[in-house]
Amino acid sequence: MLIQGVLDFTLFIKNFIEFPMFEVKHKNMVDSLKKSCTYHPKDHKDCPIFTIDYIMSEAEKNITERNLMLRYGGVVRIKLDWDCNLDRNIKLCKPEYSFARLDVPFYEKPFSKGFNFRHATAWKHNEDHFRALTKAFGLRFIISVSGKAGKFDIITSTLNIGSLVGLFGLATFVCDILLLHLSKKSDTYRNYVFEIVHLRTRFNSAIRDARIHFQSRDEIYPNSVSNDKTALSNGAIGHLVKSPGTTVSIRPLILIHPDK
């Protein structure tokens, strides 16, 4: 038997939460809340009073299934999800409500449909004992609460940034190892990364460039006296050679593999 006007019944949910790490306590009720309000996702989002009609319509969209739930019972989950940013005012932290049906739909013809429970009533009349067993159908609401909170911390942020930088450095090292030793084109990658310097080729090229410079200088200054040619013939080149008009600087070379 369906109770008349059951959809107009209301359910008041009072919830308190605590985040011990931040020493914060909060509730889902607003101080300026009016007692005559009912929850609405847009107009009265802060009101924790819900009508059975709204809960059923959110948990079950099928009208036929919803009517069968009102007659044979059902199980509905009401979930409060908190997500608080404690860098702002705690009053701005409000829960999100969601509704879902947990029992098996009637169109699947389950072995035990809906929700019911039995309770016994015992009494005594004229020295006779009586016991009545009643099977009741109804709606069962399961309320679950979950939440998380966060707050900016300079120490944690510094550690995370340092770990990220270290991870990038390690990634570069690992990639170089893989490309140099495990890749099929490791020779190509090695040629781009490393430069092989041949001793005699670079050394002879430096001597040849220096001789060309000194020859052109002698043509410009024929009367200048210098021991540079003697130094070149002996194979000794200084880091810096000066002349009246120009200055020639020869940079030192890092020799890796001499040409035999």
- pLDDT tens string 63-77: 999 999 988 999 999
Is residue 98 located within the same domain as residue 186? no
Burial of 26 (0-12, 13-18, 19+ CB in 10 A): buried
If you search the block for the tokens 């979930």, which residue do you land on? Answer: 79
- pLDDT tens string 15-44: 999 999 888 999 998 877 767 788 988 888
pTM reported for the whole predicted model: 0.59
If you search the block for the tokens 């890749």, which residue do you land on? Answer: 183
The pLDDT value recorded for residue 232 is 45
Is residue 42 located within the same domain as residue 131? yes
Give the CATH number, domain containing residue 22: 2.60.490.10
Residue 232 lies in a domain: no
Is residue 195 located within the same domain as residue 207? yes
Give 237's Cβ-side CA count (13 Å radius).
20
3-state DSSP assignment of residue 181 = helix
The pLDDT value recorded for residue 120 is 93
Flag residues of the chain having pLDDT under 50. 224-255, 257-260
Contact 84, 90 (CB under 8 A): yes
Q: Which domain holds residue 203?
A: 155-215
The pLDDT value recorded for residue 37 is 86
Tokens at residue 90, please? 């705690």
Is residue 110 located within the same domain as residue 123? yes
Residue 84 lies in a domain: yes
The pLDDT value recorded for residue 2 is 61
The pLDDT value recorded for residue 82 is 94
Is residue 160 located within the same domain as residue 136? no
If one counts the domains in the chain, the total is 2
Contact 142, 78 (CB under 8 A): yes
Is residue 147 located within the same domain as residue 198? no
Reference 13, options 95, 124, 132, 88; nearest CA is 95
The pLDDT value recorded for residue 98 is 94
